[in-house]
A and B are shown apart, each in its own frame.
Chain A
Amino acid sequence: MSTKTPATLLSIPSKKWLLIMLLVVIAPHVAYIPLWLTSIALCIIGWIGISLFSQRPELPVWGRRLFVVGVIAGVLIYASMSQGLAGLSSLLIAGAILKVLELRTRRDGWVLILVACFIAAVSFLFDQSIVAATYGGVSLMTVFSALTMMHHPNEQRWFTFPLKKSALILLQSMPLMLILFLIFPRISPLWSIQYNNSVAKTGLSDDMEPGNISQLARSDSVAFRVSFSTGVPPASTDRYWRAMTYPIFDGQRWSMAQESIDKGINKRNSEEGKDLVEYQVIAEPSANSWLFALDYPSGVPSREILQFSDGTFQAGSPIYERLFYSAKADLSGAYDGRPLYDRARYLSVPKNGNPATRAMVAKWAATGFSPEQKIAALLQRFNEKFSYTLSPQKLRGDRIDQFLFTTQEGFCEHFSNATAFALRLGGIPTRVVAGYLGGEWNPYEKYMLVRQYEAHAWVEAWLDGKGWVRIDPTAAVAPERVILPFDQLFSDSPEFMSDNAFATYRMQQSLPWLKTWSLRYDALNYNWHRWVLGFHEEQSGLLQDWFGKISILKMLLLLFIPVGVALTVVIWILLRVPSHKINAVDQEVITVSAGLCSVAPLLQREAGETVTSYCQRVARSLPVLRSRLEDWSELYQQIRYVPESHQIEQNTILFLSCSRQLKKDIKRLKKQDFVRGSID
């Protein structure tokens, strides 16, 4: 066109839809944008919405400009002060609502639509749950409803029509979208971004002081989920998940050492490879970098996971998003024969303190106990006299003495603390291992769910010729801690889980179906995390599983064949001339006619033959069927030709049963071959 067409103005329904769209798209951001912006957005949308229905005086131009400048300044200040995404979303939203102020032409509508698309995409950076994704789908639908309305301004059914249309288009786009989602190569980030999300640090801490872990027992939040390649979980006594080891002890607390990355660990027994368990972990965001390894790790974990010589894993950076990795473990924990480096570190204890313990250990040495005997003696002592509780008495002064000889009650951290100290005194290299013990097996999706309250601490001692040996003093005190699920063990203890979570928990215990549903819900979440949110981790493996080795040619074929098929189907649907649906009752007639045709070709109904005359004709040829055909055609007449009859439903039922009988009769006739001869 050589002439410039005048700008198309937006119709009122289009404006309504654009406002609805904005409301829907902005809603999930409310938690992240400043309150004043939310209220301004609501005011503007409300104001414009009202003025759609009745003429309102407009703001003077200078007032509007002042307002616009004010909002922009406010948002810029906010964005520069806030970090990362909240600023971005505030900027986008401010831009969108200011655009609403001058919503006049179709062009303005387009700007709003495009910004809304972007806002909808940004909202996924805050929340990626199933609910958020569903909501995202809804907001995209409103976006395209608004767009449809913009391009069909005089549609009367302004609400339902664009909704239906956009839902249809979205639905038709789904196959293509899924193909793209599956095939599109996931590139690593183009530039690094700081992703400072407000994930509170949860889980184990970098050092262990008595009380740290029992604190965790109050939380039922998910630490990580694991699935096993075999689909079978390890026995409950083997579910030790290492997170950290604490070699350094200052008399009060155990803490981590700066270990160097040990690439040699995979030599441990990968060539033997006998009892390896392969598993995949989805770690929840924890703002920590350490990860979980099934005791005892073996082989190389998947990329980007650092592996340390103490058998722990770490991510390259703190985990702010769910992290997916896979690894292997050797449950037998056989010694690979490597010597112990830095023996002194594992033996160092403060010079003073805890005299009673020192005396006890000295007594062992005097008796001439071997390391194994020392360990056995200690564990036996625990087994005989100690009790396992989530709420031990407070310890002061020489805590280990106090624990071992006075209070004699405690939690895993108390036991491992005392054990490690005593063994070090006894000349056995020892370290404390923090991690998780147990996990809830989800039978629906075959994965294990490990929660924070399953946090655990145990001890590893170096025995010459055996290497690091796991000693779990807690198991000596309370073997049921290892065998039973933790929640069953402590469900009566008031310290177990925070109050509100506990109420839910109680309810789950009393109502088995609730438990089932919560397992199923978690299974859904698991799949969601694994297959959707973590798809970039799964993609290459999945594609290889399905299509073998990936080549460029294969990728192109994979892209174009399904896309071609999907598009062909869509265009076929679109270009199909809608044919009217055959009434169910008419369909019966067609079926019966086909049946009779197979008895004798002449008995097929002609196109222009009414049901009545057809039945009369058939009855002449097949007098056996006469009475049934008469009933049948009479009912047909009543249903199809007598409008507003009260008996249509009843007649339809009768007709269908009559029809069924008729078909049976026809089948019987078909068997009797003589009929064919008599008609043809």
Chain B
Amino acid sequence: MAGMAYLVVVLLILLLAVNYQNNLAYAVCFTLLSLFVTAILHTYANLSGLKISALSTEPAFSNEIAYFRYQLHSARAMNQLTLGFNNNAQITIDLKKNVEHNIEVPYLCSRRGWQRAELFRIGSLYPLGLFRAWSWLRFDQTVLVYPKPIEGGQLDSFVGRDSRDNMALAKGDEEFEALSPYYPGAAKNSIAWKAYAKGYGLQVKTYQGSASDELWLDWSLWPELSEEQRLSCMCYWSIQLSQNQTHYGLRLPGVTFEPSAGEKHNIKVLEQLALYGIEGC
């Protein structure tokens, strides 16, 4: 647009020059015209020689923004590069020469599962804004999108026991089963202190509990909800339980994760929820 308006002004000045036989006005006209051409080169050069490599991405939740990470590098300084996916926020950066720049390009994820990186555009109006140099890029890049965590559904065995101590009790003063290595956040009264005093290090007693007393995120917990809603609720609970360092397991049709705790377990569960029912998992 700006470029067209510019050309119109150049044309007007040319008319002025022709009608007044004014060579300096001609000169202005030609200067503007040559500048127009030089600007093409400058804008092109501002993008030419740019190296982009894709970096790993962090999973995101559905309907939230995932960040695809890229590393930019150029042997020349480049200014005002605008990057972004279609219909998503664009980011603008300046590159220094021979410096690696890591950027995160936002992408709004609409549904769970593996989200492939779409075409994304890198462009620049620099230096004069007369032209836009641009390029579409597609990287073989995917990001895992978890279901959107939605608070809902009653987790009977959890709700109603507000304190963590109660929770630990819930796990049962049942029959002692085995010692397992300490994990951060294990309830203090489940630690095998005697073993610790003997110098065996921190270990946790685990008990054989009855199934009904364990926390299970079960597919059949909320028959009233639709599939996606169930997944969302399970996602929510998984995060909640994991924050409380609770042991919980996951039961989906065809998949069962034994109860465990910790961030790794949470991620495993979330992954399973994200990919549930989606081809290739």
Contact surface of A with B, Cβ cutoff 8 Å: 1-3, 5, 106, 110, 114, 117-118, 120-122, 124-125, 128, 132-133, 136, 140, 144, 147-148, 150-152, 154, 165, 169-170, 172-177, 180-181, 184, 186-191, 193, 195, 321, 532-536, 567, 570-571, 574-575, 577-578
Contacts and interface: CB of A to CB of B under 8 A. Distances in A.
**Top 6 closest pairs, chain A to chain B, by CB:** A176-B34, A574-B45, A173-B34, A124-B24, A180-B30, A177-B34
Given A125-B16, A151-B125, A191-B19, A184 B26 contact: yes
Contact of B21 (A150, A174, A186): A186
B122 interface: no
A176 B49 CA distance: 25
B216 interface: no
B20 interface: yes
Contacts of A177: 27, 30-31, 33-34
B23 interface: yes
Given A120-B28, A180-B34, A193 B20 contact: yes
Interface stretch (B7-15, B57-65, B110-118): B7-15
Contacts of B18: 186-187, 189-190
B22 A144 contact: no
Contact of A118 (B12, B39, B45, B48): B12
Interface string B93-131: 010010000000000000000000000000001111100
A152 B80 contact: yes
A23 B28 CA distance: 19
B37 interface: yes
Given A121-B28, A152-B126, A177-B30, A110 B2 contact: yes
Nearest to A189: B19
Contacts of B44: 571, 574
Contact of B94 (A106, A154, A532): A154
B7 to A, nearest CB: 10
A571 B45 contact: yes
28 contacts: A2-B86, A106-B129, A110-B2, A114-B5, A114-B9, A121-B16, A121-B17, A124-B22, A124-B24, A125-B20, A136-B24, A140-B28, A144-B35, A148-B127, A151-B80, A151-B129, A152-B127, A169-B128, A172-B41, A176-B33, A180-B30, A188-B21, A189-B20, A190-B15, A190-B18, A571-B44, A574-B44, A578-B75
A209 B39 CA distance: 62
Interface residues of B, number: 50
Contacts of A140: 28, 31
B206 to A, nearest CB: 54
Contact of A122 (B2, B5, B16): B16
B94 to A, nearest CB: 7
Main secondary structure of the interface of A (DSSP, over half): helix
Greatest chain A CB density within 10 A among B20, B23, B126, B128 is at B23
Contacts of B27: 133, 177, 181, 532
Given A124-B25, A152-B79, A574-B45, 12 more contacts: A118-B13, A121-B28, A125-B16, A132-B24, A148-B128, A151-B128, A176-B38, A177-B31, A181-B23, A181-B27, A184-B26, A191-B19
A165 B34 contact: no
